[in-house]
Amino acid sequence: MRVGATIEIAAPPEAVWDFVSDPSRALHYMAGITRWEVVSDERRGLGARYRTLLRVGAAEVGGLVEVVEYSEPRDMAWTSVTGIDQRGRWRLRERPDGRTRVEFRLSYGVAGAGIFGAIAERVAAPIVRGHLERTVRQLKRQVEHEQQRQRAAERRRARVA
Amino acid sequence: MSQSGIAEQAAHNGHATDAESPRGLAARLVAGMREQVQLRIPRADLDERDPDYIRESLPRLWLLASLWFRGEVRGLGHIPEEGPVLLVGNHSGGNLTPDTTVFTLAFCAYFGVERAFYQLAHNLVLSMPGLGFLRKYGTVAASPENADTALASGAALLVYPGGDYEVHRPSWERHKVDFNRRKGFIRLALEQNVPIVPVVSIGGQETALFLTRGGSLARALGLDRAFRLKVLPISLALPWGLNVGDMLGHVPLPAKIVVEALPPVHLRDEFGPDPDVDEIYDHLIRVMQETLDALAAERRLPVIG
């Protein structure tokens, strides 16, 4: 099952990338996530590994994931090592007006789970989609708020100078 | 022990003498059933746990736990990330025990199926036809030897000290933790030097209307001697109506199940190098009852939650 959420953020891709590539910020904007813990030596980049958990229904599901694509500031994709089969992706694309189109994708399932696996995937889809949609909205608020704070700080510095 | 060995032990324990004595048809029937149960009790083999099977069945469990029981599990972060740990739960819901289903799903999803996790179950459960799949989940017959083996292997072990006594308590005692003063689990934790994590659940006793344990009836029929069965419960349950024994299970009402894992209790750190078992027991019952009271206070209506 593949679900996704898209949003436009009034900030350049680099500003959004600072958020999505930083594991210490994940719990602040990712809805439903109860764990995003670094378990590799490198905190970010290709090969970085995180232990993730997402609350879906009666369980917190997830597992160990590894970053398999890291193209700054455009694409970051990860795939599962243990736990449910999953593949996630942040896809950032710059718009002509300096804004960024942000897409958050997640494919998930359990190979070999048969008909109940297929039903569970579909039943879980609205819950997971809801998490993804809230995530991109929270990401937009936080990135745009951070942009406002930076601009305000620049104005203060200009006044002092 | 081989199956023939079990049969020999059953005979040595007096079964053969009982069967040959003129105690009538009923006595021979009970004795015959006992032998069948003894023969069917699987040898505890930790290797029977099958992580791939568990992983592939988790979606099924998730559907049941999420849609039917609207399960909610809290405090899994209290369970130590690794190493042996004794999870001690209060038990509810008759022979179907929905709290075990909800907790097993949550534990396996949270820690991954790779973490060894075993559950102790009554002999009758494991010898019941059609329930062989439980061994793949890591369910082993409740005995001190099996518990020792599981913890010594570094696994997490889930036990329900109240067992059949607690699981069939009347529905009006649903918000009561009742281990019937069984303290073997504390000696087990002390011997293996493992922390205890209390696991408190609510809602299971609302999946049917449990009327009585039927303890006197079980004693009168000799079930306690024959099958280690202290109860012969009577309940009103679907689809049977009046349900005596609950041996065939029942269709549980979709009661909301909430489970909460509490902070670990490191027995020698908290109770000294030579702890008193009664003191630990009273402490654990107190903290579990307090948690159950709090969960009960959150609940507005039976079944609905």
- Spell out which residues of chain A touch residue B65, defining contact as CB-CB under 8 Å: 57-59
How many C-beta neighbours within 10 Å does residue B100 have? 25
Strand B117-121 and strand B139-141: the pairing is: parallel
User: Looking at residues B8-25, what average pLDDT do you find?
Assistant: 50
Omega prior to A73 cis, within 30 of 0: yes
- How far apart, in whole angstroms, are the C-alpha atoms of residue B270 and residue B263? 13
Residue of B nearest to A124 (CA): B63
pLDDT at B227: 75
Are the beta carbons of B268 and B191 closer than 8 angstroms?
A: no
User: Looking at residues B188-206, what average pLDDT do you find?
Assistant: 95
Are the beta carbons of B108 and B117 closer than 8 angstroms?
A: yes
B60 contacts A116? CB cut-off 8 A: yes
State the smallest CA–CA distance between residue B261 and chain A in angstroms: 14
Residue of B nearest to A115 (CA): B60
Strand B85-89 and strand A49-56: the pairing is: unpaired
Residue A157 has pLDDT above 70, yes or no: yes
pLDDT at B297: 95
A110 contacts B56? CB cut-off 8 A: yes
B71 contacts A58? CB cut-off 8 A: yes
pLDDT at B30: 65
Instruction: Measure CB to CB from residue A116 to each of B63, B71, B114 and give the nearest one.
Output: B63
From the list B43, B34, B64, the residue with the least C-alpha distance to B225 is B34
Place of tokens 């910020």: A25
How many C-beta neighbours within 10 Å does residue B9 have? 12
User: Looking at residues A114-130, what average pLDDT do you find?
Assistant: 95
Are the beta carbons of B289 and B176 closer than 8 angstroms?
A: yes
Strand A75-80 and strand A33-38: the pairing is: unpaired
pLDDT digits over B239-249, tens only?
A: 998 988 888 88
Lowest mean pLDDT among A37-51, A63-77, B115-129, B232-246: B115-129
B305 or A26: which leads in pLDDT = A26
- How far apart, in whole angstroms, are the C-alpha atoms of residue A8 and residue B39? 67
pLDDT at A9: 97
pLDDT at B228: 73
User: Looking at residues B167-172, what average pLDDT do you find?
Assistant: 92
- The amino acid sitting at B76 is L
Most A CBs within 10 A among B52, B54, B58, hence the mutation to make, goes to B58
pLDDT-derived band at A25, boundaries 50, 70, 90: very high
Instruction: Measure CB to CB from residue B112 to each of A83, A123, A124 and give the nearest one.
Output: A83
Taking phi over 0 as left and psi of -120 to 50 as alpha, with beta for the rest, B29 belongs to alpha
pLDDT digits over B124-138, tens only?
A: 777 777 777 888 999
Residue of B nearest to A123 (CA): B63
Residue of B nearest to A59 (CA): B106
pLDDT-derived band at B38, boundaries 50, 70, 90: low
User: Looking at residues B242-266, what average pLDDT do you find?
Assistant: 92
- How far apart, in whole angstroms, are the C-alpha atoms of residue B179 and residue B196? 15
Cα separation values, B229 from A63, B98, B209, B245, Å: 40, 20, 21, 10
Helix (H) or strand (E) holding B159: strand B156-159
Place of tokens 């493992």: B194
E-only strand ranges, B99-143: 117-121, 139-141
Structure tokens that stand for A123 in this block: 């039943």
From the list A57, A49, A18, A4, the residue with the least C-alpha distance to A142 is A18
Residue B36 has pLDDT above 90, yes or no: no
